[in-house]
Structures are given as structure tokens and as C-alpha cells.
Amino acid sequence: MAASFTDLKKGIYDWIYGQTSVPVIWRWQKGQFKKPSFNIMITTSQKIGHDIETKPSSLGAYNVQGHREFVLSIQGYSDYSYGIYEKTLALRDSLSKLSVRDALGVKGVVVFDWQPVQDISGVDNSENEQRSSFDVNCRHNIQIADTVSFIDIVNAQGTFHNPPKDDYIQTLSVDNS
């Protein structure tokens, strides 16, 4: 069953906040940037394999189902006294817990790999700020509903020329209703 994108985001938010008690901010989210916080964003998303299309119903409704893979980038920010790097390590290590992966799975997020935690405190001359970063590779299912129109009934008649014999008329009927 495919989860909505809102459910995916809520599952990710709940995981991070539930494991660290650190505020979570989606990148480009309106509002005030706070420290300490985890700033998160989905950096890439790609289709995995082939999508499956259901046969259209008599009304033309059909579904497309497929798998997607995305990278979740997590960056922590705090003053040095808070220790965001250690919180990031603990967050990354929580992915080893079956209970955490199950809770994410309920929200439609399947974690299959994660990268090392990096201490990026010195980036952009940030001498008074501790920073950390790591990426999580995830998958989820999608379901797209669509409606198509199609021809219910086709009636065609044609003449076959068959020299040296006589021509003959053929009628063809196809009924998809």
C-alpha cells in the first residue's frame, strides 16, 4: 500500500524528534531557523524498476503503482555546548533498531542504507557553531490514479477485392462495454 507524501514526512519527523528531542525543520520551510535543530530535506528521488498499471475499469479508471528511492539529507546545528554531533550519532545508530525501522515502515518509509556521520563544523567559517550531517537511503511505494477514455464499440465494414474471384464485404464488430 502506498503512503501519502504527508505520511512519509510525518514518519521521518516523528523518528528524528522521537529519538533526539531536537526540533526538526524541513529545508525551505517557512519560519524561524532555530538552534539546536535538525534541518532535513529529500535531495533526490528516482523510480526503481518498472511501474505496474492496472487494467482500466469500465469507467476508464486505472492505477499506476511503483517503487521510488530517495535520499534524506539530515544536518544538525547547535552551539558547541549542546553536542549536536553526538545527537546525530545517536540518531544514525537508532536505525539499527528494528522498532525504529518498523515505525518508519508503518508510515511508508523503508530505510535500506545510511552514510557515515560527518562533523562539518568548520564549513563556511562557522567557528561558534557545531554542525553534523549524514544521508539516509530510503524507498517508498507510490500509487497514481488516472482516468482514460476509450472506445466502447467499434463497427466497421469493408470490401475485400479478391481477383479473379468476386469481391466480398466483411463486417467487423468489437464490443468492449
**47: nearest Cα among 137, 141, 113:** 141
Residue 21 lies in a domain: yes
Residue 157 lies in a domain: no
Neighbouring residues of 129: CB distance < 8 A, sequence distance ≥ 6? 35, 77, 78, 79, 80, 121
User: Would the pLDDT of 173 be above 90?
Assistant: no
Task: Kindly give the residue spans of alpha helices, DSSP state H, lying in 21-166.
Answer: 84-94, 98-106
Query: What domain count does the chain have?
Result: 1
Instruction: Note the pTM of the prediction, 2 decimals.
Output: 0.76
H or E element, residue 16: helix 5-20
Residue 155 lies in a domain: no
- The Cα-based distances of 103 to 9, 13, 19, 34, 100 in angstroms read 13, 12, 12, 27, 5
> What pLDDT is recorded for position 110?
95
User: Would the pLDDT of 32 be above 80?
Assistant: no
Helical axes 5-20 vs 98-106, angle rounded to 10°: 150
Neighbouring residues of 134: CB distance < 8 A, sequence distance ≥ 6? 74, 88, 92, 114, 115, 116, 117, 118
Residue 171 lies in a domain: no
Query: Distance between alpha carbon 82 and the CA centroid of its chain, in Å?
Result: 32
CATH number, domain of 13, equals 3.30.70
Structural domain that includes position 90? 5-148
Residue 115 lies in a domain: yes
Residue 136 lies in a domain: yes
- Taking only the tens place, the pLDDT of each residue in 126-161 is 667 889 999 999 999 988 888 888 776 777 877 777
pLDDT, mean of residues 12-41 = 88
> What pLDDT is recorded for position 177?
61
3-class secondary structure, 136: strand
Residue 176's pLDDT band, with cuts at 50, 70 and 90, is low
Residue 159 lies in a domain: no
Residue 144 lies in a domain: yes
> What pLDDT is recorded for position 81?
79
If you ran DSSP here, which 8-state letter would residue 98 be given?
Answer: H
